[in-house]
Structure 1
Amino acid sequence: MPTHPDTGLTRLYSDHHGWLYAWLRRRMGCSHNAADLAQDTYVRLLNSGRFPSQDQARPYLLQIAKGLVIDRHRRRLIEQAYLDALASQPETLAPSPEETALVVEVLVRIDSALARLKPVVRETFLLSRFEGLTYREIALRLDIAVATVRKYMLMAIQSCMSAVTDSECA
């Protein structure tokens, strides 16, 4: 992979931007979102410092763009769930748009942190926090020891706290 951003990125952009934008526009059905994500794809590429060879450019750009499409979709689902939860609250408790944006960002980071956990660790956390099961009930359901449930909960909580702490530092 070429490493010089001036030549590598400029050539990738001029050779493939139109194709990538068209693919994103077909996929998303919106020229504005497609333009944003095409730009974000090249920003991510630039930030990585890794530029594919010309024969690998389209698959590489497509991989980045698909990840961004998925990230945007997940973010919108999380944001909508948060807004739905807010709708059931009294209007006097409604956060400002800035506070809403910050909360959604933290929720996206927590979601991402949970997604990186092993499935059994994530399931343990979700059973405890969202289904209200006790550690003993979780252990029985997952056929693991209560001590393992404790360990998994600690791992999940540390991961969530790290996501929150990282968002405060950003």
Structure 2
Amino acid sequence: MSSANQTACIGSWYRDHHSWLYGWLCRKMHNNSDAADLAQDTFVRVLTATNTTAVREPRALLLTIARRALIDLWRRREIEQAWLDYQESLPEALAPSAEELSTLLEALEQVSKLLSGLPAEVRRAFLLNRLDGKTHRAIAEEMHISIATVERYIKRAFIHCCLQQEVMQPL
């Protein structure tokens, strides 16, 4: 499909469905400016999709993309709040600069995306090993599971991250 047809299709969707999507997001978020940002983000994500002219129900696709964008926003805010809470507990001399904070938040968001989709206990075992540097035995004792289960969990998380990384990187 030509990019002109793709652009015309998305332009039509924008005219026909933007106000509906914005209204739906306003009801979900209770914040008009965030809803406007997410509506725009949804259409930007649609621009990167392929063959939108074959879509029979544009509202269903827009709603799916908007829900994903909303989940990403909530996840990002949750990570930011956890980091801000941690940062408040640090002495002022150890607090990172605004640039360091931005880089750290971006890295935390990428880690969160990489680990999304894993069961909580698998994520926990992996993070205890990779971030806290705990041994398999220490993790097994803390989580009340066998060492073999810890090894399986860490292997599963590692493979999941590798596969996610391949999906996230453009060809």
CA distance in 2, matches of 1:131, 1:104: 18
Aligned residues: 162
Structure number with the bigger relative contact order (C-alpha 8 A, sep ≥ 6) is 1
Percent identical = 41
What's the Cα RMSD here?
Answer: 3.4
Name the SS for the 2:21 alignment partner.
helix
CA distance in 2, matches of 1:32, 1:56: 26
- C-alpha deviation, 1:156, in angstroms: 3.4
CA distance in 2, matches of 1:6, 1:52: 10
Q: TM-score, normalised by structure 1?
A: 0.77
1:18 is aligned with what amino acid? S
Equivalent of 2:140, from 128, 138, 141? 138
Q: Which runs of 4+ in 1 moved over 4 A?
A: 52-55, 126-134
For structure 1, the 5+ residue unaligned runs are none
Aligned in 2, Cα 1:52/1:138: closer, same or farther, shift over 3 Å? farther
User: Once the two structures are superposed, what CA deviation does each residue of 1:63-90 show, in whole Å capped at 9, x if it has no partner?
Assistant: 1101111110110010010011111111
CA distance in 2, matches of 1:7, 1:148: 53
Instruction: Tell me if structure 1 keeps the 8 A contact 2:22–2:39.
Output: yes
Shifted more, 35-44 versus 91-100: the winner is 91-100
- C-alpha deviation, 1:128, in angstroms: 4.3
Instruction: Tell me if structure 1 keeps the 8 A contact 2:42–2:66.
Output: yes
Q: Which residue of 2 aligns with 1:86?
A: 87
- C-alpha deviation, 1:53, in angstroms: 5.2
2:111 is aligned with what amino acid? I
- C-alpha deviation, 1:116, in angstroms: 3.4
User: Once the two structures are superposed, what CA deviation does each residue of 1:93-139 show, in whole Å capped at 9, x if it has no partner?
Assistant: 22122221111111011011111345553243245468886423528
User: Once the two structures are superposed, what CA deviation does each residue of 1:3-28 show, in whole Å capped at 9, x if it has no partner?
Assistant: 83122111111110111111111211
CA distance in 1, matches of 2:118, 2:31: 33
Q: TM-score, normalised by structure 2?
A: 0.76
